[in-house]
Each structure stands twice: as structure tokens, then as C-alpha cells.
């Protein structure tokens, strides 16, 4: 059980979990904006053309039962709007990432190669020659 809690603590301490938590919170806030956009702006505009608010579209079943088709259409519109925004965000991120990678590769190619230093044999030869000169003096 102790190992389980240690693994859990290590999991929670990772940065990705914090990023995910922030994403969930921002996503929840963004959902309220999309709900408002759908309910307060898109539905009234569609109501001008269809003569009704989407959320009021219902099909009566037996007794007091209704199929709330309008609410379903609102949910579909919300989903499409959120999917569109996420698509744009991911596309922008991928495009930026690709540009940064290309720039990094371009900079890597521009860097002049450092001249190779003397080989081990050349260094040993120089040391031998210096020792020989010192011994001759």
C-alpha cells in the first residue's frame, strides 16, 4: 500500500498533471462561454429564420413525455463550436511547432563546423618533439 501512495504522489507531482488540471478548469469555463454563445446568440438568430428558439422544439410522446430535440440540437451546436475552436488551437500549435523545428534545423545547418583538433598521434608527436628540444638544450 505504501508503494501505491508513493507512485500516486510521484504521478501527482509531475508537471503534466498540473497542466491537465488547468486545461480541465479552462475547458469548463470555456464551455459556459460556448453555452452562452449558443443559447443567447445563435439560437435567437436561428429563431428569426425558423420562427422558434431551438430549445423549444419538442415532439410530444404519450402522456407527459417529450423528445427535446431542440436541446439535442443545442448540444450538437455546442459540440461543433468547441471542436472547431480546439481544431484551430491544435492546428496553430502544430504549425508553430513545425516552424520552430524548421528554424532550429536551419540554424543547425548554418553553424560552421568547428575545425577538428589535432589527433592523438599528432599531439604525441608534438610532445616528443618538445621533449627532444628540451633534452638538446
pLDDT tens digits, 109-118: 666 667 777 8
Dig out the grid coordinates for 47 from the structure.
429563431
Rounded Cα gap, residues 73 and 50, in angstroms? 14
pLDDT digits (tens, 9 = 90+) for 28-86: 888 888 888 877 887 777 777 766 567 777 888 888 888 888 888 878 887 888 888 87
Q: How far apart are CA 85 and CA 93, in angstroms?
A: 12
In this predicted model, which residue has the larger pLDDT, 99 or 54? 99
**Mean pLDDT across the chain, nearest whole number?**
80
Q: Give yes or no for residue 105 having a pLDDT over 80.
A: yes
Helices (H), 1-137: 2-13, 15-36, 43-50, 69-110, 120-136
Amino acid at each position: 500500500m505504501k508503494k501505491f501512495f508513493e507512485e500516486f504522489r510521484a504521478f501527482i507531482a509531475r508537471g503534466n498533471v498540473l497542466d491537465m488540471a488547468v486545461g480541465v478548469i479552462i475547458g469548463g469555463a470555456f464551455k459556459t462561454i460556448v453555452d452562452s454563445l449558443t443559447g443567447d446568440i445563435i439560437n435567437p438568430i436561428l429563431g428569426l429564420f425558423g420562427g422558434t428558439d431551438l430549445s423549444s422544439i419538442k415532439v410530444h410522446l404519450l402522456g407527459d413525455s417529450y423528445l427535446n430535440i431542440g436541446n439535442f440540437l443545442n448540444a450538437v451546436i455546442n459540440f461543433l463550436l468547441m471542436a472547431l475552436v480546439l481544431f484551430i488551437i491544435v492546428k496553430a500549435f502544430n504549425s508553430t511547432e513545425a516552424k520552430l523545428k524548421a528554424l532550429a534545423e536551419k540554424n543547425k545547418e548554418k553553424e560552421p563546423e568547428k575545425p577538428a583538433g589535432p589527433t592523438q598521434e599528432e599531439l604525441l608527436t608534438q610532445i616528443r618533439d618538445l621533449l627532444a628540444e628540451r633534452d638538446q638544450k
